[in-house]
């Protein structure tokens, strides 16, 4: 599943090819994604110039003078820049065609989304409740400490709540909790501000590293082959239940938290 670093890498990969270019056409081959792609997308976008592409949580926001187009990659979506008239393959559901290239949306499982948000994207039900970006200066230990007082929720669920902080998916929550020595099941309200500082630093560091690793794949966003935006990351505990802890050699355990698999070291994480 594309996580925040993959979405940010997608944004950086496609932006230089599309910014300041006008939309010439839209081709929709399969409109039923997570929600239906608006049928009037062509009339909304035709001859409009793409001003910028922003990322909010895992949403990409394509800003035009008359409104914002949202694209979400869902479970298996990807975006790629292709030469004009590149033949479509099976899961290539939508093309936005610019002057000299096209943006192709591919999504085998069709949990992604392409939606028109108009001129007030921040009021969209998808966006308005989102917490701060994890890499922004608003995301601090003091912020987490204050919000977590009296909360019995396990800390892993707390930091994966999009209203608390956006875009900390299962991989990054698992790895950041390991790195900071905090048990995923510890009550959020039972963690000191000092320990939240270690956790916030770990989240920022792990996400920044992943985005830097994604930078090596930027060329993969051009062309009709391959699967752009997915890259190998260095993982210490995620997906490694039953293996030994890289720090103390204790066997890593797994438990389910809110239906998500959580791997942790019972000795290092408290």
Cα–Cα distance, 185 to 157 (Å, whole number): 9
At 199, give phi and psi (nearest 5°).
-70, -45
Tell me how far, at minimum, the Cβ of 55 lies from Zn ion, in Å.
34
134 is known as an active-site residue: no
Tell me how far, at minimum, the Cβ of 215 lies from Zn ion, in Å.
31
Show the tokens assigned to 171.
């991989």
Which CB atom, from 26 or from 265, has the smaller least distance to Zn ion? 265
Catalytic residue among 34, 110, 247, 260: 260
Q: Which one of residues 200, 245, 257, 263 is an interface residue with Zn ion (CB under 5 A)?
A: 245
The enclosing H or E element of 67 equals: strand 67-72
The enclosing H or E element of 213 equals: helix 193-214
The overall longest dimension of the chain from CA atoms, in Å, is 60
Cα→Cα distances 137→40, 83, 165, 179, 202, Å: 38, 39, 12, 21, 14
Tell me how far, at minimum, the Cβ of 267 lies from Zn ion, in Å.
5
Q: Are 220 and 228 in contact (CB under 8 A)?
A: yes
Residues 91-120: x where in contact with Zn ion by CB under 5 A, - otherwise, as a string:
------------------------------
Tell me how far, at minimum, the Cβ of 250 lies from Zn ion, in Å.
5
2 is known as an active-site residue: yes
Q: Is 252 in the site for Zn ion (CB under 5 A)?
A: no
Catalytic residue among 11, 58, 156, 195: 58
As annotated, the active-site residues are 2-3, 58, 260
Residues near Zn ion (CB under 5 A) are 245, 247-248, 250, 265, 267-268
């Amino acid at each position: 599943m594309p996580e925040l670093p993959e979405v940010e890498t997608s944004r950086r990969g496609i932006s230089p090819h599309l910014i300041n270019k006008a939309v010439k056409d839209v081709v929709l081959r399969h409109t039923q994604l997570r929600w239906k792609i608006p049928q009037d997308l062509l009339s909304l976008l035709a001859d409009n110039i793409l001003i910028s592409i922003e990322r909010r949580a895992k949403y990409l926001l394509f800003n035009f003078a008359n409104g914002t187009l949202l694209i979400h990659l869902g479970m298996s979506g990807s975006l790629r820049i292709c030469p004009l008239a590149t033949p479509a393959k099976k899961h290539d559901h939508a093309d936005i065609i610019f002057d000299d290239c096209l943006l192709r949306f591919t999504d085998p499982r069709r949990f992604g989304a392409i939606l028109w948000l108009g001129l007030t994207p921040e009021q969209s039900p998808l966006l308005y409740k989102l917490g701060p970006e994890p890499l922004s200066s608003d995301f601090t230990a003091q912020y987490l400490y204050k919000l977590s007082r009296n909360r019995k929720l396990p800390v892993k669920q707390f930091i994966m709540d999009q209203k608390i902080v956006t875009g900390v998916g299962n991989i990054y929550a698992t790895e950041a909790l390991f790195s900071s020595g905090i048990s995923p099941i510890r009550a959020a309200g039972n963690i000191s501000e000092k320990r939240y500082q270690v956790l916030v630093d770990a989240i920022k560091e792990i996400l920044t590293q992943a985005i830097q690793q994604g930078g090596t794949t930027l060329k993969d966003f051009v062309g009709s082959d391959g699967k752009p935006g997915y890259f190998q990351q260095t993982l210490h505990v995620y997906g490694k239940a039953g293996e030994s802890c890289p720090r103390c050699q204790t066997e890593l355990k797994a438990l389910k938290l809110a239906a998500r698999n959580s791997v942790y070291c019972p000795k290092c994480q408290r």
